[in-house]
Structure 1
Amino acid sequence: MDKYIARQPIFNSQENVYAYELLFRSSADATAYTATDPDAATFSVLSDAFLLFGIDKLTGGKPAFINFTRKGLQQMLTTYSPEQSVVIEILEDIEPDREILDICRQLKQRGYVIALDDFVFADQYRELIELADIIKIDFLTTPVQERQMIIRRLNHSGIKFLAEKVETRIDFEQAVASGYSYFQGYFFSKPETFTAKKLVSLDTQYFQLLHEVRKTDIDFARLEELIKGDVSLFYKLLKYINSVYFGLKRPISSIRQALVLLGQHQIECWLTLLILRDIVAEDKSDRTNELMNTSNIRAKFGELLAQKMNRPELAAQAFMTGMFSLLDCLLNRSLTSILQELSIHNDIKQALQGADTHLGNMLALIIAYEQDNWQAVSHYAQSCSVPAKWLPALYLEALEWSVRYCRQIDEQPE
């Protein structure tokens, strides 16, 4: 299933990009917001930006303005994204009652930037204005005199003003002269829509993982086992951790390493994002199921092969290599573009690209056996110093593990 998200740049007075606003889109050719459920649209933009597209790819490390509904604020969705990456844009139809004001204070204490969207001055917004960092003024609907009045009345408070729907050079020059700091609109750039393939996953597994994460003594081995058989979940974990905001210092070579680097709190944040978005298997085609099953078998086959070769240090990387060996088919994208986005160990990247290395030859051996290409099996078995007689038993064990894993997931109570 394809997913869509649009971004529109926000510029400063020097016409350099300061940030991007991320916008919900229902299709590749949609030019405006068309969602019937604003809450679902907020969840979609937030989770897809971090878990599917990659926030760093969308914004290049600049802040992302995201619209939040009242429900989104109530559920504190923003606590599941890094403070420096998201600007909380409070929609104009949200009543600034005591609950909303308390939530905004908590967000400010956490370090979030708060912007007020489509602002129109009224006494009821005074307390909310005191919490705001940025106020957005719609230049299409707000008369010139009112735009200037808002600046004069609030300019002393340290708030930055953003002129949105700036359509002409005259609009831009008037905004600069009036004291606006940021600018957004068709004069600069129309929203650009991005498309990504959404990988299906096993939704009941999220709750199993969340249950494990919330234990006092977190069991990383158990978490690793739950993630191992699901290429979709594994991919989402790497997309999340690979965000520039987590300061990844070295490439990932195993699931355990990724989990330990994230830590208990961020793992819980990641899982909560998945659950809130309710990423359920919408693409249940036979093709997708078979690709995922084959990925599982290849991963376990590689792990078992490394252990049998007395190369335990290769087991985790062999598993990871097998699991990602069909990612280009699952995502309908080139392997090169996918690998550019994932900070996985270079040995794994080389193996996936067919390199003549230990991991590369192990993957080639697995694929040759899978395809009944006995000449290639003989060649790669010799390269790996593996007796070919081992392979049937290892393949059968990998197949049984994949079947058992899927059955365990299916038997979990709803």
Structure 2
Amino acid sequence: MQQSDSQTPSQLEAQYVARQALFSSTGELVAYELLYRDSPQNCFPQGMGDSKATGRMFFDLILLQGLEKVSAGLPAFLNLATDALLEQIPQLLPKDNTVIEIVERSRGVSELVHVVSALKKKGYRFALDDYDQDPKWQPLLELVDYIKIEMEPKLISTVMLIKKLRMVYPQAQIIVERIETPEQAKAVVGAGADLLQGYFFAKPAMLEFKNISPAKRVIIELLQLTMSAEIDFKEIAKRISVDVSLTARILRMANGLSGTRANISSLQQAVTYLGEQSIRRFIRVLALGELGAQKPAELTKLGLMRAQLIAELVSPAGKAMVEQGYLLGLLSVLDAVLDVSLENLAKEFSLDGALSGALLNAQGMLGQALNLAYACEQCQWPLAEEILQTIRPASEPQVLYAALSQSRIYCDKTMELLSD
């Protein structure tokens, strides 16, 4: 996207969304409509299409910040472009508190009918936005849960349309937007409108969040791929190849780890050399370094140290537990790296119950190992030795201090590779 004249570099470091309230006919706040913005100016960006706005708000804001946080726990009405609907992107959203708005500029109504029908069977709700009385919408009107109309210049025209829609489509709730006077509000409620929106009630309120750069999106996607039961090497190479800097860094790290610098000259070679187990850890280490590039280096060191320490401590439980422990250590610092909550990270990466429980509630062996790492970082040695006994009963304290020593060596070596 080209930078508009109104944007400054500092503004581009943030992500914006406008949130406009919807009220019931009795005046109760019941939902918010989320509107994409690219600057503190409270208006839709000029020259930006629906698809791009959908993508930017979807990834940068809703998936990482969490829909519940953005909508203050109320149902959220969210515009989705035709392409996003056809790709069934709504399935990434929680169906209980989301209403998908089909914009009036949507095309391919017959295709949309098929997708909407399928998603409604799964419990998703839909609204037809800015209904303009075009006959082409008739198949969708029979499916949607909400019909949004704007105030007409003549109040009587709006009143008559509400009554007509109430009679023909009784299954749908009628939302009237652009209400600007108490007379308009009273008239549309009297005609049967269910929800009301407009400057008379509230203007869109601006919210500002930390932005996630395109480069970081690639890293997050790679992290997600490493959490699958089976690694898709082709997909990983594809994601890496779109970023020249990332490709170069992976080759440097692979050469450094192999001890034969310059022998590995392609992504395929790097993947083949590392193998499935190593590529998981390799990408996770790289991810922490890349995502934390604008953060203090100590944060990256903390994540690496914590990850390796947990892996060392749970090693008697087997290879799978070691990998989970290592991942847990890295994830435990990503909230500070990305400025998002651990709860949202757990949802974003679809963590399994054991890993999520360990990260959020210190459950199980992994959770105790994470607590032990915290105790070591705070120099609470008696507590650390006590927790060690719950993870590895009858172990001597020397086991802990040896693991700490190995973790420091690993951290120093890895930081050197990251800084090459």
TM-score, reference length from structure 1: 0.64
Contact 2:307-2:329 within 8 A present in 1 as well: no
1:275-328 superposed Cα distances (whole Å, 9 cap, x missing partner): xxxxxx9x8884348466324412323214524799999976786356434743
Q: Does 1:179 align with 2:233?
A: no
Q: Secondary structure at the match of 1:78?
A: helix
- Structure 1, unmatched stretches of 5+, are 235-280, 352-356, 369-375, 408-414
Q: Percent identity?
A: 23
Tell me, in whole angstroms, the C-alpha distance in 1 between the residues paired with 2:316 and 2:230. Answer: 36
Quote how far apart the aligned CAs of 1:65 are: 0.8
Q: Does 1:226 align with 2:237?
A: no
Tell me, in whole angstroms, the C-alpha distance in 1 between the residues paired with 2:146 and 2:356. Answer: 41
Q: Does 1:67 align with 2:79?
A: yes
Amino acid at match of 1:172: A
Instruction: Tell me which of 212, 221, 246 is aligned to 1:206.
Output: 221
Quote how far apart the aligned CAs of 1:114 are: 1.8
Query: Bigger radius of gyration, 1 or 2?
Result: 2
Tell me, in whole angstroms, the C-alpha distance in 2 between the residues paired with 1:223 and 1:172. Answer: 62
Contact 2:175-2:193 within 8 A present in 1 as well: yes
Q: Does 1:53 align with 2:65?
A: yes
Tell me, in whole angstroms, the C-alpha distance in 2 between the residues paired with 1:116 and 1:68. Answer: 11
Tell me, in whole angstroms, the C-alpha distance in 2 between the residues paired with 1:74 and 1:165. Answer: 29
1:173-204 superposed Cα distances (whole Å, 9 cap, x missing partner): 11111110001122222222222224563726
> Where does residue 373 of structure 1 map in the other structure?
none
Q: Secondary structure at the match of 1:287?
A: coil
CA distance 1:75–1:68, shift in 2 (3 Å): same
Q: Which structure would you say has the larger RCO, counting Cα contacts within 8 Å and 6 or more residues apart?
A: 1
Tell me, in whole angstroms, the C-alpha distance in 2 between the residues paired with 1:382 and 1:210. Answer: 36
Quote how far apart the aligned CAs of 1:42 are: 0.9
> Where does residue 20 of structure 1 map in the other structure?
32
> Where does residue 320 of structure 1 map in the other structure?
328
CA distance 1:84–1:362, shift in 2 (3 Å): closer
- Structure 2, unmatched stretches of 5+, are 1-12, 233-275, 347-354, 363-367, 389-396
Amino acid at match of 1:116: L
1:124-273 correspondence runs (5 A)? 124-139=136-151, 141-156=152-167, 157-158=169-170, 159-198=172-211, 201=216, 203=218, 206=221, 210=225, 213=228, 226=280, 230=284
> Where does residue 254 of structure 2 map in the other structure?
none
Tell which deviates more after alignment, 395-404 or 144-153: 395-404
CA distance 1:72–1:205, shift in 2 (3 Å): closer
CA RMSD of aligned residues (A): 4.5
Tell me, in whole angstroms, the C-alpha distance in 1 between the residues paired with 2:222 and 2:331. Answer: 22
Q: Secondary structure at the match of 1:120?
A: coil
Q: Report the number of matched residues.
A: 336
> Where does residue 394 of structure 1 map in the other structure?
407
Q: Secondary structure at the match of 1:397?
A: helix
TM-score, reference length from structure 2: 0.64
Q: Secondary structure at the match of 2:160?
A: helix
1:12-33 superposed Cα distances (whole Å, 9 cap, x missing partner): 1122222211111112x22111
Amino acid at match of 1:293: T
1:258-407 correspondence runs (5 A)? 286-288=293-295, 290=297, 293-307=300-314, 320=328, 323-325=331-333, 327-328=335-336, 330-331=337-338, 338=341, 359=370, 362-363=373-374, 365=376, 367=377, 385-386=397-398, 388=401, 391-400=404-413
Tell which deviates more after alignment, 81-90 or 193-202: 193-202
